[in-house]
Amino acid sequence: MKPNAIIVHPADNVAIALEDIGQGEDVRTGEEVLFRTISSIAYSHKVLLEDVATGQDVIKYGEIIGQAAEDLKQGEWVHTHNLTIKGE
Taking 90 as the threshold, does the pLDDT of residue 20 lie above it?
yes
Alpha carbon of 6 to those of 14, 28, 55, 71, 85: distances in Å?
Answer: 9, 8, 24, 23, 23
pLDDT at position 76: 97
Among the four given CATH numbers 2.30.130.110, 3.60.20.10, 2.60.410.10, 3.65.10.10, the one describing domain 5-84: 2.30.130.110
pLDDT at position 1: 80
pLDDT at position 87: 58
CB 38 within 8 A of CB 23: yes
| SS3 at position 30 | coil
pLDDT at position 32: 85
**pLDDT tens, position by position, 29-78:** 988 898 999 999 999 999 999 999 999 999 999 999 999 999 999 999 99
